[in-house]
């Protein structure tokens, strides 16, 4: 069985998923919470864009929801 292919998403999409207002808020979250999914660089250059796997972000959100109910 082939793994499900998911398009990577940028900061703007992740911000919407999290209900945030800005990239700076996302960056602060990434520094503060080491369990947040690591971005995937699209190339090796220094200025390469970072993308996120939306499945990983959704799983992180689900894990946070589950943890608050414990």
User: In whole angstroms, what is the distance from residue 38 CA to residue 36 CA?
Assistant: 6
Residue 25 lies in a domain: yes
Mean pLDDT for back-to-back runs of 10 residues, the chain (70 residues): 79 97 96 96 86 97 90
Task: Give the closest residue to 8 by CA, choosing from 60, 61, 59, 56.
Answer: 56
Residue 38 lies in a domain: yes
Domain membership of residue 19 as a residue range: 11-68
In the prediction, which pLDDT does 2 show? 62
Domains of the chain: total: 1
Rounded CA Rg of the chain: 13
Confidence (pTM): 0.84
Residue 4 lies in a domain: no
In the prediction, which pLDDT does 3 show? 64
Residue 6 lies in a domain: no
**Encoding tokens for residue 70?**
């414990």
């Amino acid at each position: 069985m082939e793994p499900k292919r998911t398009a990577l998403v940028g900061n703007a999409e992740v911000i919407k998923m999290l209900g945030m207002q800005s990239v700076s808020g996302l960056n602060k979250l990434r520094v503060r919470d080491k369990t947040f999914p690591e971005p995937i660089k699209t190339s090796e250059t220094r200025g390469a864009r970072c993308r996120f796997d939306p499945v990983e972000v959704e799983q992180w959100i689900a894990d946070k929801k589950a943890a608050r109910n414990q």
